[in-house]
Each structure stands twice: as C-alpha cells, then as structure tokens.
Chain A
Amino acid sequence: MRALTSRAIFLPLVGSAVLVAFSIAALPFSRGLFRVAQTPYDASDAAFTRPAWIVLSRADPLVPRGAAVLIRTETPDPTNDMYLHRFGIALLPGRRIVPAALWGVPTPPDIVRDAEYEIVVGQTPSLRPGRLLLQISEGSVWRRER
C-alpha cells in the first residue's frame, strides 16, 4: 500500500481510472455490447457507410471479375457517390469501378454508359437500370441490358 501513497504512482493511476471510466461510457451499450457488428462501420458517424458496405459485400459474388460496375446512391448524391466509387475499389477488387461522381461532380454520361453492372445504395430506382440480381433493404444490384 506504501506505493499507492507516492504521487508518482497515485496520480497516473487516478488519471487512468478517470480515462477508463470515460472509455467505458463511450461504448455503444444500446447496440448490445457483446454482439459482433455486421460491418466494421456499425457505430460509424457516416450514416451511409454501413448500408454501402452490406450491399457491396452482397454484390461481390454476383459481379464477375473484370466487369465494369457503376455504384451510386438513390437519389443520386455526388458527394456520397464519390465515396461509393472508393468503397467499390475496396470491396469489389478485380472489377473496373466506374465513378458516378468525382470530387462532388457527377461523371459525364459517356463514362457512366460503359458500366455492365449497376449497384444502387438506398431505395430502388424508379427507372429500372436492367435485370435485378439482388434486392435488400440497403440497396439493389442490377445487370444492365444493352
């Protein structure tokens, strides 16, 4: 117990206890602490990352390697669409990801037209992009028909 009376030991321990208490308070208890998250972004600040992750992961076996894929939100949002292009490069390796927007600006139609598949994050588009391959609450996967 003598060591605890030393300021050199007591102060860091008290500081650590305060920080640990705040760390515990930062845990997302409402989501169920020992439930493994469906995605690494379940408790993320960016609201659309989680649905995007789920749709892109589910699209992985449906989209063949080498295929050109357009990934976008419904309704289109150039900022989110820019990030979806980057997510697609991460989660759909080996495919050619066609950007629906870059740096907040929608991509010209002649580039978008090349895509063979279209992945839509969010609600189902009113104008069907092609043949439906997958529809889940987070989004849909389409094979474009030419």
Chain B
Amino acid sequence: MRAGYLWLLSFLVFPIVGAPLLKSRAFRVFGLPTRAVLSAGVGAVLLSWTMTLFALLRLSWGPLLVLVAAAVAFALSLMLRGDDGKVPSSRPRGERLGEGRASTATLLAYGLTTLSVLVAFLATLAGRSSPDLLLFWGPKAQQFAAARTIDLDFLRAPFREYLHIYYPPLVTNLFAFPAMIAGRFPWGAATLTFPLLLGATAIGLTGTLRTDSGTAPAAATAALTTSAMALLGIHALVAGNADSFLLFFEIVGLSILVTRTAESTAGELLAGLFLGGAAASKVEGLPFVLAAAGIFLLLAPSRRRPIARTLLLLIGPAALSLGTWFAFGAVRKLFYGYQSYGHFFWIHWEYIPRVLAGFGRAFWKAGYALPFVVPLVVFLATRGKSRRALLPVGIALALTGFLGFTYLHGEVDPRLWISWSAARVFSPLPALFGLAAWCSSRTESKEFP
C-alpha cells in the first residue's frame, strides 16, 4: 500500500521538471491549476525522452534524469524570451484570470466534471482495469525499473513477442520512473492513472479553452468531454493502460491549437510538446499528430510566421521523441520501426461489412455508443460552424480513415481484433466532437463572460 502511495506521489516530479518552461511569462495567460497540469505534461514528455536517450547512450537511470529533463525545459524557456507577452488571449492576462463569482452554468459544469472523475475512480477501485496493464505495460515498466534502463535481455527472451517491444516508450518510462522511487511496481496504483489523467485532462482543457471564451463554455466543453471519456473508459477497460496518457496529450495539445494561444511561438511549442507526448504514448498517436499539424497549417494559410518554423515547433518534439526511440531499437537490433499487421497495400475490401458491423457492436458495448453519439449530437446541434472547427473534425476523419485502413489490411478476419480494440482506439473522437462544438460556438460564447 505504501509503495502505491509513493508511486503516485512520485508523479509530482513531472510538474517540477516542466516548471522551468511553464513559469515563463509567456504562459501567465493560464491560471495556476492549468499551468501545473501543463507543466506535468511537459515534464512527463521531457523526462520520458531523457530516459530513452539515457538507454540509447547506455547510461543507467537515476536522479540525473530529472536534472537533464528540467535543464531541457529551462533551455526551451530561453527560446521564448523574445516571445514574452505575445501569447494572445481574448481575456485579460493574469494569474487570477476569470476568478470571482462563478456562474450557475460554470458550477454545474465543474460538478459534472468532478462527478465523472469520481465515478471513474470508483469503477477503477472496484476492479475494472485493463488486461494490457498485466500483459505488457506493467511487466515492461517493472523490469525496466529494476534494471534501471530499457532491459534488452527481458525484451529479447524467448516467447516475449506479445510484449510489443516496438510500442513507443512514454508509458513504460513514466510507469518505471516512479517504480524506481517506490521500490516496486504497484499494480493497483497504476490503474488509478485513469481517473488521475481524466482529472488532469479536464483541468487542462478548461484552462486552455477559457483563454479564448467565457469560463462557462470552456467548463461545459470540459464536462462533456470528461464524462464521455469516463463512460468510455469504464466500459472499454482503460484503467492502467496507455489510452489515458494518449488522450491527455492529444486533447490538451489540440485544445491549445484551437485557441488564440496557438498564434504565438510559445503556444505552438507547448502544443508541439503535448503532441510529442501523444506520439510517444501509443502507435495511433502518430497519425493524430500528423493530421493535427497538417490541418492546422492548411487552416491558417495567411499566417505571418514561416510554415517551416511552425512545423518544426509542432512536429519537432514528436520527431525527436520517436527518432530517439527508433534509434534505440535500430542500434540494439530490436526493431526498425512500427510493425504492420499485414502487407501495406493488401487491402481486404471484402472485410468492409464485417469491419462496419464490428464497429457497431464495439461502440454499442461501450455504453450503448453514447460516448460517441452524445458529443456528435452536441456538435451538430451547436449553431454556427466556424472554420476552426474543421481542425478537430478533420482529425476525427483522418483518424477514422487510418483506423479503418488498419483494420482492413490485416490478413485475418478483423472481427475479434475490433471487438477488443475499436472502442479504445476511437476514444479521441468524443473529445474531438466536443472541441468542434466549442469551436463552433465561439462567436456566440463571447456574449457570456
């Protein structure tokens, strides 16, 4: 039990690592809780990257990791010195932004968000956890913590194909780091990352969106997104696996891109770091990042800053993170990229009916498809469709296309695969619909301070 508490408390290292960047004046547009969550996200990304780099350089993991990762955060903050004061916001700057008397709607939204996180917490405590934690995320993290590096002998041992050794390293790294502090890997505590990250996502989402709208629309969007993620997570059994991390990085990163924060270098860098976290969390994080960056550039053709610079800020962290990981795999002759589930261009068109039927069954099983349908209905019913809404909608379409393609080009009947994976891999969709609804309502929401 004590190891579990210590393991969870060790997560406090993440905001400490990210603090040198987020304490930059450029980010004071965000309130303190939001900056703490954003610091944690940045810290987690930098710490994980440092751990992979140390493994590549054959350096043992230890306290030096924290210093190096924090130094990188500090170096990034120096990059923003010239950008100081340029993070735009529709609201006045300041730490106590939007504080004061909260509206009934805001309180209601906060209440629903809190209830969603609480329900996710209770479901996790009751034992609705992901089998993937026991199958590969947990064992790898446990062994890496014991070995103080990414343990090659463990990964190369016979009969270990199921460990998916090429999966990106962020989650195993972030599970291993606190396990080194706690002295062992506490399985029960690891499952609590689901409600923990759900809460962090809600805070990050509210805090970023409120810089560009009233607090009430931001809080209402966060409530919708959080409750959809909670219901989906409970049914799809995500507690303890990488999906909570992936959604945290994807959704908070995208929420920065849909606000005016993204018009600054600081905003683009922050969004890029979060997208880097998404790419390093799960394989499907990479198509999300590419779609987000590509559509973002397409939607803002008249930008004054060079496209190359924006691309570097948005894609650079993901490229660096995955580049280090693939370099590690190649140098150690472990893997040379992501594995495909079949020959790339052998698309089994005859599987389309089975795939669609499989999606229907998988979504229905995950809370009667409500986590997908409700945010979609909210988006479609929101008045006024803004150009900025094309960003989340475009990503949703790109992701759906990528996942549909993936299921179609496997060599075996994909129905079983879809039954245990579809609800999870499509889990960004509810949040994307929620963000699209917020984008559409932005003009209207300004009437409600």
Contacts and interface: CB of A to CB of B under 8 A. Distances in A.
B216 A9 contact: yes
Contact of A12 (B191, B437, B448): B437
A20 B104 contact: no
B365 to A, nearest CB: 10
Residue among B126, B191, B230, B383 facing the most chain A CB atoms (10 A cut-off): B126
Interface string A1-41: 11110111111110111111011101110010111111111
B126 A37 contact: yes
Contact of A23 (B119, B129, B142): B119
B374 interface: yes
A117 to B, nearest CB: 18
Interface string B124-153: 111111010111001100110010000000
A19 B371 contact: yes
A23 B216 contact: no
Given A27-B119, A89-B139, A3 B448 contact: yes
Contact of B159 (A31, A34, A99): A99
B123 interface: yes
Interface string A24-61: 10111001011111111111111001100100000000
A93 interface: yes
Interface stretch (B72-80, B106-114, B407-415): B106-114
Interface residues of A, number: 53
A23 B441 CA distance: 27
A102 interface: yes
A134 to B, nearest CB: 20
A94 to B, nearest CB: 8
B410 to A, nearest CB: 17
Contacts of B122: 27, 33-34
Interface in B184-219: 187-188, 191, 214, 216-217
B267 interface: no
Interface stretch (B221-229, B247-255, B311-319, B323-331): B221-229
A40 B191 contact: yes
B123 A12 contact: no
Interface residues of B, number: 71
A109 to B, nearest CB: 16
B134 A26 contact: no
A50 B367 CA distance: 24
* From A35, A36, A89, residue with most partner B Cβ within 10 Å: A89
Given A3-B103, A31-B126, A40 B227 contact: no
A42 B127 contact: yes
A26 B223 contact: no
A77 B217 CA distance: 54
A101 B129 CA distance: 25
Contact of B131 (A12, A16, A37, A46): A46
A120 to B, nearest CB: 19
B307 interface: no
B71 interface: no
10 contacts: A6-B448, A9-B448, A15-B375, A16-B112, A20-B115, A23-B119, A27-B126, A31-B126, A93-B139, A99-B159
**A-B residue pairs, 5 tightest by C-beta:** A42-B127, A8-B441, A37-B127, A19-B227, A12-B224
